[in-house]
Structure 1
Amino acid sequence: MARRIEYFGEPVLTLAQVAFQCRVEPEDMEPALVEQIIIPGVTAQCESKTGAAIRGAVYEEEWPVGRPSGHALDIGQAFEVVSVFAQQPDGTWAEQVGSFELIREQRESFLSFPADRPGGRLRIRYKAALELDLHLGVRNWLLMAAATIYRHPEMFLVGQTLAELPSTFLDHLVAEVTVPPRF
């Protein structure tokens, strides 16, 4: 499984967008609650549910020796490979400068090595982010989730984390970016 190294760019929602969805003036909301708990919480829930990078982030994953060229990256919406390192026989890691190709599809991105896949375990670092303007259903999911949590905090806020939202028709809003199960 890929691990997130760092986020980049702005959060996927703003206080003003959540306020509009809630039909509340932004100055009447609790900015710290919305910006530090609700927005990051619904972003994390959406990323967990879909397997896609909703907010821009750098990820790193390791491929075992037997994983072939052309395999899917763990996180959906990858758009740029930052680096590929191969583990050497002595256990050190060496950056690979050979050619590779990132093939982007709607839900997944595949990493291919046109010449030969480097030998050994690979450590692949890449950037991934969802273009929310192209996936309005995802933005709607985020806004509905944020508004639901804001309106009913006693049901969803557990300390500094969020409980899962009910998932009837909301799942259909994120279906087009949901990475298929791999096992």
Structure 2
Amino acid sequence: MARRIEYFGDPVLTLEQVAFQCRVESEDMEPALIEQIIIPGVTAQCESKTGAAIRGAIYEEDWPANFLSGHALDVGQASELVSIMSRQPDGTWIEQTVPVELQQGQRESFLFFPGTRPAGPLRIRYKAGLDLELNPGVRNWLLMAAATIYRHPEMFLVGQTLAELPSAFLDHLVADITVPPRF
């Protein structure tokens, strides 16, 4: 399972976009609620539902020795390798500079070693994030989710977190980027 190390870039939605979706003037909204709870909450829900990185982030995952060249990365929408480390017999990690190829598919990204895969367990760091211009349905999902939560906070806001949204219609908007189950 990949671990998110850090986000980079701006959040995927702005206060102005959410205000427009809600048909409310942005100065009439609560900026802290939108920017600190609703936008991060719907982003996290979409990432959890799809298995894809929605907001740009750096991820790290460990590959056991039996993961061969061409194996899929855990998080969809991976776009750039940051580093590949191999575990040494003494437990330390050493960076590898072997040739690698990252092939990004619609849902998954695959890591290939054109030469020889480094032996043993690997720790792979990569950047991932969705291009919302190429996936407008995902932006629509995020905006509809944010507007629903804003309009009906009593149903979805639980303290500082968000309850899950109903899925029947909304799930089809993110189907193109949803990573298939692995088990």
TM-score normalised by the shorter chain: which range applies? over 0.9
Instruction: Work out the CA distance in 2 between the residues paired with 1:98 and 1:59.
Output: 20
TM-score, structure 2 as length reference: 1.00
Q: Percent identity?
A: 79
CA distance in 1, matches of 2:98, 2:164: 43
Name the Cα RMSD after superposition. Answer: 0.3
The CA deviation string for residues 5-62 of structure 1, in whole angstroms up to 9 with x for no partner, is 0000000000000000000000000000000000000000000000000000000000
2:128 pairs with 1:115: no
2: distance between equivalents of 1:98 and 1:63?
16
Classify the secondary structure of the residue corresponding to 1:125: strand
Q: Distance in 1 between matches of 2:105 and 2:66?
A: 23
Q: Hey, what's the Cα distance between the residues in 2 that align with 1:50 and 1:36?
A: 22
Q: Secondary structure at the match of 1:27?
A: helix
Deviations 1:59-93 (A, max 9, x none): 00000011111000000000000000000111110
d(CA) in 1 for partners of 2:9 and 2:65? 33
The separation in 1 between residues aligned to 2:47 and 2:104, in whole angstroms, is: 18
Q: State the distance in 2 between where 1:69 and 1:124 align.
A: 13
Give runs of ≥4 in structure 1 deviating > 3 Å.
none
Query: 1:15: which partner in 2?
Result: 15
CA distance in 2 between counterparts of 1:154 and 1:26 reads: 21
SS at structure 2 position matched to 1:99 = coil
- Alignment-mate amino acid for residue 86 of structure 2: A
**Amino acid aligned to 2:113:** F
Q: What are structure 2's unaligned runs of at least 5 residues?
A: none
Q: Secondary structure at the match of 1:21?
A: helix
TM-score, length-normalised on structure 1? 1.00
1:4 aligns to 2:27 (yes or no): no
Match of 1:178 in 2: 178
Distance 1:103 1:19 in 2: 37
Matched to 2:93, the amino acid is W
Q: Which amino acid aligns with 1:96?
A: Q
